[in-house]
Amino acid sequence: MPNRRTVLKWGAVAVGAAATAPVLRAAAPHVVVVGAGAFGGWTALMLARAGARVTIVDAWGPGNMRASSGGETRVIRGSYGDRAIYTRMAARSLRLWQDHEKRWGRELYFPTGALWMFGADDSFARGSESVMRAEGLPFERPALADARTRWPQIDFTGVQSLMFEREAGYLLARQSCAVVLEQAQRAGAEYRQAAVKAGEPAKRLDAVTLGDGASLAADTFVFA
C-alpha cells in the first residue's frame, strides 16, 4: 500500500547494490476523485499527468446544474482588496487557462475587462493594487473625465474613483468543466457517472460505495 510520499512522487527503485540488479517501479497509486467540477476535474487531470491511476466519479456529470461549478459563465478577476491569497490564486488560474487554451486549441476564457466604481471609500481598490502589481495583473485608475469618454453608456453620478482591470473577463464554466474532464480521460483517467454514498467515519478509507451498490476501492480518495 503506497504511503503519502509514494502518492506524491514515485519512481525507479533499485534493488540491491549491484549495477546489474533489477530495477522495480513502485506501482502508481489508484486515486479516486469524487466530483468532476472545477476542483475535481483539475485535480484528476494533474494526477493523471503525473502518472497516477485516476478514477473520477460524479453523480450528474461535469458542470451540471446542481454543482457549484455549473452555470454558463464565471468571472475571473484579480481585485480582492487586501485578501492577497485570492489575488494570487486568480493570477495562477488565469495563467493556467491561457496556457491550456493554446495547448488544447479551445477558446474558453474571454477577457472583457472589469470596471470598478467607488464612492468616498476606495479602500478595496487601494488594497488590491500592490498585490495585483506583484502578480503582474494590469490595472488602471482612470480619471472620471476620461471614463465618461471611454464608457459613455454609464452614468457616473455619485462615483468618485474608478479601477479598471484590463485582463479580467469570463470563463465558459460548464463547457470548461467538460473539456477538463475530457483532457483528464485523454491523460488516462477513467470516468464513472455515479453517486457516492457517505459511509461511517473511519481512520482509513479503503473503498467507497456507489449508488448502485458497487464498491470502489483505491489507495487515496479526494472529495471535491
Q: What percent of the chain has pLDDT over 70?
A: 87
Q: Quick: pLDDT tens for 140-184.
A: 999 999 999 999 999 999 999 999 999 999 999 999 999 999 999
- Sorted by sequence, the CB contacts under 8 Å of residue 180 that are 6+ apart come out as 38, 41, 42, 45, 62
Copy the grid coordinates of residue 175. 463547457
Which position has the higher pLDDT, 15 or 197?
A: 197
Q: How far apart are CA 37 and CA 66, in angstroms?
A: 11
Residue 109 has pLDDT above 90, yes or no: yes
Cα–Cα distances in Å, from 65 out to 61, 73, 182, 191? 9, 12, 19, 19
Local confidence band at 68 (pLDDT 50, 70, 90 cut-offs) = confident
DSSP 90-112: HHHHHHHHHHHHHHHT---EEE-
Q: How far apart are CA 52 and CA 49, in angstroms?
A: 7
The helix/strand/coil state of 199 is: coil
- Sorted by sequence, the CB contacts under 8 Å of residue 109 that are 6+ apart come out as 76, 94, 97, 98, 101, 169, 170, 171, 172
| pLDDT (mean) for 192-200 | 86
Q: Quick: pLDDT tens for 77-100.
A: 999 999 999 999 999 999 999 999
Local confidence band at 54 (pLDDT 50, 70, 90 cut-offs) = very high
- H or E segment and range at residue 53: strand 53-58
Contact at 8 Å (CB) between 128 and 79? Answer: yes
Predicted TM-score (pTM) of this structure: 0.81
Dihedrals φ, ψ of 76, to 5°?
-115, 125
Report the candidate in 53, 62, 50 with the shortest Cα–Cα distance to residue 217: 53
- H or E segment and range at residue 221: strand 220-223
